[in-house]
Amino acid sequence: MVKARHRTFGEKLFGLVNASALCLFALAALLPLIVSVSTSLSSKLAVDTNQVFLWPVQFTFDSWKYIVFRPDLWRSFGLTLASTLIGTALALLVTALLAYPLSKKEFKLGGVIMAAVIVTMIFKAPIVPYFLTVREIGLFNNPLVLVLPHIVSAYCLAIMRTFFKQFPHELEEAAKMDGCGYFRILFRIILPSSTAVLATLGLLYGVVIWNQYQTPLLFLQDQSLFPLQMKIKQFIVDGNELPILAAKAVVNYNERTLRAATVIFAIVPVVLVYPYLQKYFVKGAMLGSVKG
């Protein structure tokens, strides 16, 4: 940027207005979260009488104590965490195993398979036959349904294939000379030097699995198998999930403070890992403009 020229008054004013407007938007984006945090940390009385706004009133951890001691919530949390970790690893593995041969010209079926993959991107099967198929193969009320339907995305496959295509051939040729097979080349040479793309795609897969709602809604009926999002939904809509709050109850929470605490409970892990993932999702969003 050339900074030699003085900024005119109009430009300074514009800069100020622009910065203030953006701050306002950022606050607006965070406001609902702030309200939820304050609600979850306020007393029953304060919430009932509409005193809570941006900060907790009559500060108490009672709602949180209740939430943290609900074993079923932790069980759902564990299930979601495990399915996200296992699912992401498996997804990256299966995607790489398919993307690698597809990136090779000598793989004769490659063209056909890639075309078939692209067809699935533009023509989506209706949900009912999908439901019937997945139920038929035994994934109904089976926790594997949290993982298996997400192990390849056509979009991620296309990105990884493009990446493998650009991989320097000399290294592969040298490895082949030394008697390495395709598997060894993929696992010893290509994947170790693809960590950036793996992290980016892993983040895309991970977010999908962590946040998934439709799949468990379709296939999981057994409450002990509910992942976190399903559990949260139960807390939010189904009054029976929450304790019956008698008028004489000595506890200092109500439905609203508990709901707010549950929602924040589900957000905390995301907020905690967010700073570490920031650089990867920026890359991920930009990969969107890469042609498959």
55 binds another protein (CB under 8 A): no
200 binds another protein (CB under 8 A): no
Cβ proximity to another protein: between 115 and 246 the closer is: 115
Which residues in the 120-179 window bind another protein by CB under 8 A?
A: 120-134, 137, 148-149, 151-152, 155, 157-158
Cβ proximity to another protein: between 53 and 59 the closer is: 53
Which residues in the 72-91 window bind another protein by CB under 8 A?
A: none
Task: Considering only the stretches 60-68, 168-176, 244-252, 256-264, report the one whose residues sit in contact with another protein under the rule CB under 8 A.
Answer: 256-264
Which CA distances in Å does 18 have to 12, 22, 23, 209, 237?
10, 6, 9, 37, 40
CA distance 251 to 248: 9
Residue ranges of alpha helices (H) inside the chain are 9-40, 44-48, 62-68, 71-102, 110-122, 127-134, 154-165, 169-177, 182-184, 195-211, 214-219, 228-237, 255-287
CA distance 232 to 210: 13
State the Cα angle at 165 between 161 and 168, rounded to 5°: 140
Task: Considering only the stretches 61-69, 98-106, 163-171, 239-247, report the one whose residues sit in contact with another protein under the rule CB under 8 A.
Answer: 98-106
Q: Work out how close the CB of 186 gets to another protein at its nearest, in angstroms, rounded to a whole number.
A: 8
Which residues in the 235-254 window bind another protein by CB under 8 A?
A: 236
Which residues in the 9-38 window bind another protein by CB under 8 A?
A: 10-11, 14-15, 18-19, 21-23, 25-27, 29-33, 35-36
Task: Considering only the stretches 63-71, 170-178, 190-198, 210-218, report the one whose residues sit in contact with another protein under the rule CB under 8 A.
Answer: 210-218
71 binds another protein (CB under 8 A): no
39 binds another protein (CB under 8 A): yes
Judged by CB under 8 A, the residue of 147, 201, 204, 259 near another protein is: 259
CA distance 235 to 237: 6
185 binds another protein (CB under 8 A): no
Task: Considering only the stretches 59-67, 105-113, 163-171, 242-250, report the one whose residues sit in contact with another protein under the rule CB under 8 A.
Answer: 105-113
Q: In this structure, is the dihedral angle defined by the CA atoms of residues 41, 42, 47 and 48, taken in order, positive or negative?
A: positive
CA distance 62 to 204: 36
Q: What DSSP letter does each residue of 140-160 carry, written as one string?
A: TT-GGGGTGGGS--HHHHHHH
Cβ proximity to another protein: between 62 and 145 the closer is: 145
CA distance 94 to 186: 12
Judged by CB under 8 A, the residue of 70, 75, 176, 256 near another protein is: 256
Which residues in the 262-281 window bind another protein by CB under 8 A?
A: 262-263, 266-267, 270-271, 274, 278, 281
Give SS3 for 288: coil
